[in-house]
Structure 1
Amino acid sequence: MSGGDGFTATHWGVYRPRVADGRLTALDPAPWDAAPSAIGRSVVDGIDAPARIRRPAVREGFLRHGPASRDGRGREPFVELSWDEALDLAARELDRVRREHGNAAIFGGSYGWASAGRFHHAQSQLHRFLNCIGGYTAHSDTYSLGAGRVLMPRILASMDDLMLSQTAWSSLEKHCELFVAFGGLPARNAQVGSGGASDHLVKPALGRLAAAGVRFVNVGPVRHDLDDVAGAEWIAIRPGTDTAFMLGLAHTLVTDGLADGDFLARCTVGYGEFRRYLTGEADGVAKDAGWAAAIAGVAAETIVTLARRMAGNRTMMNLAWSLQRAVHGEQPFWMGVTLAAMLGQIGTPGGGLGVGYSVMNTMGSGRRRVTGPRLPQGRNPVDTAIPVADMLLNPGASYRYNGQTRRYPDIRLVHWAGGNAFHHHQDINRLVRAWRRPETVIVQDPFWTAQAKFADIVLPATTALERDDIGGATGDRFLVWMARALDPVGEARDDHAILAGLARRLGVEDAFTGGLTTEEWLERLYEECRFNAPVPLPDFRSFLAAGLAEIPLVEPEKILLQAFRADPDGSPLPTPSGRIEIGSAIIAGFGLPDCPGHPVWRDPADHPGLAGDDGPLHLLSCQPATRLHSQYDHGAVSRESKIAGREPIRIHPGDAAARGIGDGDVVRVFNRRGAFLAGAVLTDGIRPGVLQIATGAWYDPVDPATDGSLDAHGNPNMVTPDTGTSALAQGCSAQSALVEVERFTAPLPPIRAFQPPRFVGRP
């Protein structure tokens, strides 16, 4: 198929590919993009780098001995096979497991960031295929937002609704006076969008707000998390103490008579019980500014002054998603909603609450909700689903989740397309042990990530530039025709073609493909999107010719919860009471000690999942500026950011001096879970006692044959805890890692993360 201007959409921007002699020479940012991401440059050298999977491959031990050899995962060489041989082997394993153990024994692992393309969306393709063969065990929630996705529908609204309804930047520019960012507002995160980022909004918007006189306050341990606003104030609280800090603000509002009683009475439930906790009437401990200051590590006067400023100005509060990726991660989100309700500015122009303004590019775009094309996944006959948490090591064990008692399934086969569990999951040494439990692991991916190297059957998938597709995120500016620009590298095939080949062998090809070609699917999905869109869109052929379809802005300016504020009875929230639930009778009824029925402070040190952690430094793992998650870590932009080939880590000069560490030194970061190497960056833009490193460095064990090996490359999940936020949500707790750091004086191990595995001939 052909297209208009030859654009392609990636999660981090829209580009025009330049191709010479069949090779990609450049990706030129779209001319309308005021703040294009540099990550596109990584695709140029990364797309056909040595890390590219070029042919189907099977682990040698699996080819010889089948599942009995699973201890060899991550240690053994691979044998390259023909497509027919590899697909025959994968189909036999899928069929064997579903016949012998049932479809619940198949885990359909995938993550939604594999491609901005909406048809060649690996997660949707895999789940559709697995539903066609009888279903699979799925995951619920995400590593990014596990606690928030469970909590917020109970107390305010679903995260999807909140993300699509955030107050527009244009409203903030006109009406906001004070922007308080809990956890910072890093524009680096907003480079990306789930279906593409066609016009980068956040960095220019922050500049316009600052020029309009909006004052910014960054509440968090890292000044660099609000570097994009010159002159932003920084209140450097201890990591994980946001809930206590907000309780101190709330107590000041009460004692100063600044809490909005009318809004609380009209629009909330449960405030009375929470107020008794806040003032100490319930437990004898007043959560005042002095109490909060001792926990957060700041002056009490700082808390009192900020509370009064927030009440005296049109104030937007923003909660970074990172706040809930910690033990008791539900509490800062719940307390943030409560504090915003007490200020009484929810639903006002320029004021109220935001949840993740800088998380993705579409936040605050003000555009209509045009849901991009979606591949129907069908119905999963298996009702087993797990939160993004521990499973493989505990088949049959019970756990609490969202008010239910569930049991982990006995997973015998993992089929993964898109994503990299060795990036996302915590406590990698524990993951390695768990990963060797299933009988078979099948991975589809373009690159030899650690997950592919720890697989049994590896199927090479194409990248977005090697196929036709349609990109577009809900709330983004454009739908984009992604015309194929390159021939597939090696023998790579589209995920759809791979799964169609498996479906043919398992007798469900017609059900999977729907009797349509890829070209017919693209037209069908686009026309369905056009039919359902609340704005006019061109027909498919016109869209194809133009290469773009623009989504108009919303008029008037979008304001989160404006209708609810004006008429809580006529426009109720989708909560059990229809109001903001400062107190939740349902959550209280679950009887969970670590998540009672209203916001509370729980000391992270009391969490059983952190027992034995005694490092003096708190490690924070943030989203990277030079890649999306672990995607294209092997590309030029990411590699250029490394220090001696290792991921950079921020250290306060005082902490570094106490340990004899200089700027640019390679350091070893460690705790009882494991250890990794990183390159030291000394900065006073981080609170003493805190370290910060980006996630996404490809796992690179120095000695793959030895469990617990040092990671040479800088993967922070070597030391992060694999424990749930609470029994309510069981979310990710990566931000609750305590570590020690020391200068690494031994010879530096080589970086082998971007090399393919060793190949041997057929046994």
Structure 2
Amino acid sequence: MPETSGKTVYKSLGLCGFGLGSNSAAVDVKDGKILRIRPMHYDEKYDYESMRPWKITARNGAVLEPKTHTLPTPLQYAYKKRVYSKNRVPYPLKRVDWDPNGERHPETRGEAKYVRISWDEATDIVASELKRIYAEYGPFAVLAQIDGHGESKIIHAAHGCPGKLLDLLGGYTLQARQPDSWEGWTWGAKHIWGMDPVGKQAHTENLFKDIAENGDCVIMWSGDPETTPWGWGGMMPGRVESFLTEAGIKQIFITPDLNYAAAAHADKWIPVLPNTDAALQCAIAYVWMKEGLYDREWVESHSVGFDWFERYILGGEDGVAKTPAWAAPITGVSARQIKALARYWAKHAVSIGHCAGGGLIRAAYSSEPARLEVCLLTMQQLGKPGAGQINFMDVGLFGIDDIYPFPRCELQPDMNSVYHGWAMLTEPVNFIPKTLIPQAIMNPPVHWSGGHVIAGMPAQDQFIEWDFPQPGAGEIHMIWTDSPCWQTCWNGGNEMQRALRHPNLQFIVAQHPWLENDALFADIILPTTTKLEVNDISSDLFSGQYNMILHEEQAVPHVGESLSDWEAVGEVAKKLGLYEQYAEGTEEELIKKGFENSGCEKYLTYEEWMEKGYFVVPTAENWENDRLHMRPWYEDPDSEPLSTPTGKIEFYSTALAEHYPDDVERPPVPHFVPYGESHSESLLHPRAKEYPFLLITNHPRWRVHANNDDNTWMREFETCKVKGPDGYLYEPIWVNPLDAGRLNLHDGDICKIFNERGAVLGGVRLSERVIPGALYQDHGARVDSIVIGEFDRGGANNLICPSNTTSKNCPGEVTNSFLINIAKVDVLELAKQYPVEFAKFYDKDTGHVAESCIIKEGR
């Protein structure tokens, strides 16, 4: 138990970090309660100068330098509301009509109530079910959903602990997480410029320094590079954008919506219809080709296949020249604007900025705009002074040194020796891409092209054909999940709801701190802690300021009967006689082992580190002399061959031509693909007559994916929720006034957005910050089903995303830029039509789980 006297502990409060910490903060505690969360000051226990503070100076004298304190976001400051949420699972729960020795009633998952049971009973049931299923069906009958973004815990990792135990039992089927934030990069860009591990992020070393000294403009293409990193990298991206403005470096935002970063920092906003960026890119290339605004000799020395690309752009392949006049009605960007953008870009040192990739990277056929971006960067001499590609989120991603655009620290602390997360493993014989889980449950066998699917696999892995189940393995009969938010964060969530109720699934166990989303479909729920309730070790690698390693002292007691993920699985391991092999030591032993293998042991002793509570890694000496991103390749491509088959940029992909020569959805030369065999999510398709809007579903400002939707402080913002006439707080839908006028919609109206896959509700916010023809609703709202598999009240629009993957040979997610319609509804009449379902789980004002969800003792 933690002390009850006043104290301050240090926590890395990254809420979406795969065990890689970020957003470190000081947590002030008194009498076992969190008083406040605030920035931690680096110089509280260290001489600031010993950290070697760095400085980037622009050519006009503007300065970017780190603060003397950390930069948490509102999500971190408000996190105590998440810790003390009434949605916390207070004790182990069993679905009331699920009997492991009798009727299991899979058809009531998602609507049945729960009853309290003891940890002893819960772990007995889980251990017994594991033994039975392994005996009857073999180990691959257990699907481990142990991937996903989670709190940045290491020993008590939120995603992965069950994998260790299941491995000890003989194996399992892994839910293979495909590269969700990098879909188009992995399936497309990797085949034009390589750039492992994920296909994006060319070398970015010292890129901000180079832009400050030589750049003229950064094009922020798709997405919100300030808001999206709030769960990963704190407030540093916003500081960088402000610095760009101070340095006189223009910022052009090309997005369907004037997002928060654009509203604060844009010198120019070019609104483009969702899913049409590829047409805009083609038209820019056309202007450069016709007006000679690129160095052909340089392009040909650094690439292969440019003549194929030129043939397509100029119309030699299909008879359609990709002119600005051709692109204008498709994109909503006038031909005049396209020409002006192309000419400005050709005359200036321009970089492209992203936060992972934005909506275009998670849309249908996202491989194409990703490849076309590389084409444009190459045509304007990628790597020349002031010209590169920036990711505002993934500074320090996974410890990869060559994608760190800020001044480099001497090392990135390594947590792998004690990290219990297993999200990215490729060892299991049997696995299913996350995007294909519903089909694999309801309609096996499933076949796909795309290899192991997991982010970071080499490009050639994508050409392997796979099947589920593998020979000798059976179907899925059990799920163990510690990432229960598939339906609200992935593609085709309504289909997943139906899969979770399928009779093939005999048992679902979820471990989670909160009663929400997929946890509401579990048969047994194990209550787990947040990171503020555990003693752990962690790192901070995403801040963009300094790297740190922290001893994360337990701040407050466990809420209710919760255990950490590591402890919860350990209780099941004890029932199976496998605890020692599973645990691999005590918590204290693992913390010490983690420190002594982190790389930081060369700077101070374990005892010194424990006394201070954290260690700040100094900035590297002479960092200014480090490599400049792609400059060496720009100057001599033969000295640094790329990881493509030819070692050069491939406008014509030799590997795609060899393996998929007839794939019109991802041809050897990048194309604009509006619709095809896999998708019809385009205003150019006849289906748009019935569903005439494209939905933008960005990362939300007031939560991280589905995390934080119950935070009452956040729900007070008008931009977070819209209060309906029934008092319920609905997820906002931005509607352009021109569209609203045609449809007689008004600010505050409650509407349904819908397509043939289902419908979700939301509240109208009239705004010129969204382009006509598109609607905007953040993704990640918690599921609050009115009719399971059909109709949702909470605004969880992933339920109505396409179920099909990126394209037929790319098993990636499609969760953005899809066709819908919108119609006003009378929620008071809906409540009469669905009287029980409409008030099923969540309180209308606070968003907390209604008491009726759990059958209280004695009732």
The one of 204, 210, 218 aligned to 1:166: 204
Match in the other structure for 1:36: 72
Tell me, in whole angstroms, the C-alpha distance in 2 between the residues paired with 1:52 and 1:450: 13
Structure 1 residue runs of 5 or longer lacking an equivalent are none
Q: Secondary structure at the match of 2:97?
A: helix
**CA–CA separation in structure 2 for the residues paired with 1:397 and 1:142:** 20
- Deviations 1:131-188 (CA, angstroms, capped at 9, x unpaired): 2222222214143333433434433212558559435433322221011122144301
Change (3 A) 1:106 1:64: closer
**Structure 1 position 186 matched with structure 2 position 246:** no
Q: Deviations over 1:274-327 (max 9, x none)?
A: 222222222222222222223212221211221111111111023523212111
Is structure 2 residue 662 aligned with structure 1 residue 595? no
Q: Which runs of structure 2 are paired with 1:605-616 in the superposition (5 Å)? A: 607-608=678-679, 614-616=690-692
Matched, 1:742 2:823: yes
Which segment is superposed worse, 80-89 or 366-375?
Answer: 366-375
* Equivalent in the alignment of 2:706: 630
- Quote the residue 1:328 is aligned against: 365
Contact 2:395–2:405 (8 Å) recurs in 1: no
8 A contact 1:151–1:330 mirrored in 2: yes
Between the aligned partners of 1:483 and 1:6, the Cα distance in structure 2 is 6
The code of the aligned residue for 1:672 comes to E
Q: How does 1:24-423 map to 2 (within 5 A)?
A: 24-31=34-41, 32-33=68-69, 35-63=71-99, 68-138=104-174, 139-155=176-192, 156-159=194-197, 162-163=200-201, 165-167=203-205, 168-193=207-232, 197=233, 200-224=235-259, 226-227=261-262, 229-319=264-354, 320-344=357-381, 346-354=382-390, 356-358=391-393, 364-368=405-409, 370-374=412-416, 375=419, 382-391=428-437, 392-401=441-450, 402-409=462-469, 410-423=475-488
The residue number in structure 2 matching 1:720 is 801
Structure 2 partner of 1:520: 589
How far apart are residue 218 of structure 1 and its match?
A: 1.1
Whole-Å Cα distance in 2 between the matches of residues 349 and 552 of structure 1? 28
Q: C-alpha separation between the residues in 1 aligned to 2:102 and 2:156?
A: 30
Name which of structure 1's ranges 133-142 and 692-701 shifts more when overlaid on structure 2: 133-142
Q: CA separation in 1, counterparts of 2:653 and 2:235?
A: 38
Between 452-461 and 393-402, report the one with greater CA deviation.
393-402
Letter of the aligned partner of 2:216 in structure 1?
A: E
Amino acid at match of 1:101: Y
Range with bigger deviation, 55-64 or 232-241: 55-64
For 1:35 and 1:361, locate their aligned partners in 2 and report how far apart those are by CA, in whole Å.
Answer: 16
Are 1:755 and 2:849 counterparts? yes
Matched, 1:454 2:533: no
What do the CA deviations read for 1:694-727 (whole angstroms, capped 9, x no partner)?
112110113xxx4445322211123221211112
The separation in 2 between residues aligned to 1:425 and 1:184, in whole angstroms, is 18
In structure 1, the partner of 2:722 is: 643
1:684 to 759, 764, 768: 768
How far 1:16 sits from its partner (Å)? Answer: 1.8
Q: Distance in 1 between matches of 2:202 and 2:69?
A: 21
Q: When the two structures are aligned, how many residues end up with a matched partner? A: 750
**Corresponding residue for residue 512 of structure 2:** 445
Q: Distance in 2 between matches of 1:607 and 1:380?
A: 27
1:9 aligns to what?
12
**What is the alpha-carbon distance in structure 2 between the residues aligned to residue 489 and residue 43 of structure 1?**
14
The question of 1:508 aligning with 2:578 is answered yes
1:587 is displaced (CA, Å) by 1.4
Deviation larger for 644-653 or 661-670: 661-670
Would you say the 8 A contact 2:488–2:799 is kept in 1? no
Once the 2 structures are TM-superposed, how far is the Cα of residue 15 of structure 1 from its aligned partner? 2.1
Query: Are 1:148 and 1:159, in contact at CA under 8 Å, matched by a contact in 2?
Result: no
Q: Please say if residues 224 and 358 of structure 2, whose CA atoms lie closer than 8 Å, have aligned partners that are also in contact.
A: no
Q: Distance in 2 between matches of 1:412 and 1:360?
A: 40
- Structure 1 residues 589 and 68: alpha-carbon distance in aligned structure 2, compared to 1, 3 A threshold: farther
Residues in 1 aligned to 2:421 and 2:352: alpha-carbon distance in whole angstroms: 37
| Selected match of 1:699 from 776, 783, 788 | 783
CA distance in 2 between counterparts of 1:257 and 1:740 reads 43
Give the TM-score, by structure 2 length.
0.82
Q: Give the distance between the partners of 2:484 and 2:517, measured in 1 at CA.
A: 11
Could you tell me which amino acid in structure 2 is paired with residue 675 of structure 1?
A
Where do residues 549-588 of structure 1 align in structure 2 (5 Å cutoff)? 549-553=615-619, 555-556=623-624, 559-588=628-657
**Pair 1:467–1:97, CA change in 2 (3 A):** same
Aligned to 1:620: 696
Amino acid aligned to 1:188: T
Select the structure with the greater relative contact order (CA < 8 A; seq sep ≥ 6).
1
CA contact (8 A) 1:500 1:509 kept: yes
Gap change, CA 1:6 and 1:377, over 3 Å in 2: closer
Question: What is the aligned counterpart of 2:33 among 23, 34, 46?
Answer: 23
SS at match of 1:497: helix
Give the 3-state SS of the residue equivalent to 1:500 in structure 2.
helix
- Cα 1:149–1:273 shift into 2, 3 Å: same
After alignment, is 649-658 or 488-497 more displaced?
649-658
SS of 1:17 mapped into structure 2: strand
Match of 1:544 in 2: 610
Residue 626 of structure 1: CA displacement? 0.8
Cα drift, residue 584 of structure 1: 1.4
Gap runs ≥5 in structure 2: 16-22, 42-67, 398-403, 451-461, 470-474, 724-728, 832-837
Query: Which range is displaced more, 740-749 or 621-630?
Result: 740-749
Q: TM-score, normalised by structure 1?
A: 0.92
Instruction: Specify whether residues 360 and 618 from structure 1 end up closer, same or farther in structure 2 by C-alpha distance, changes over 3 A only.
Output: farther
Residue among 485, 489, 499 paired with 1:434: 499
Q: 1:622 is aligned with what amino acid? A: N
Matched, 1:468 2:552: no
- In structure 2, the residue matched to 1:483 is 553
Tell which deviates more after alignment, 560-569 or 715-724.
560-569
Number of the residue aligned with 2:401: none
State, as a whole percentage, how many aligned pairs show the same letter.
24
Q: Is the 8 A contact 1:530 1:539 kept in 2?
A: no
Contact 1:219-1:235 at 8 Å conserved across structures: yes
Taking the aligned partners of 1:427 and 1:513, their CA distance within structure 2 comes to 37
- Are the counterparts in 2 of residues 268 and 580 from structure 1 also a CA contact under 8 Å? yes
Residue 466 to residue 475, structure 1, CA distance change in 2 (3 Å): closer
After superposition, the Cα gap between the structure-2 partners of 1:420 and 1:656, relative to the gap in structure 1 and judged at 3 Å, is same
Distance 1:687 1:46, change over 3 A: same
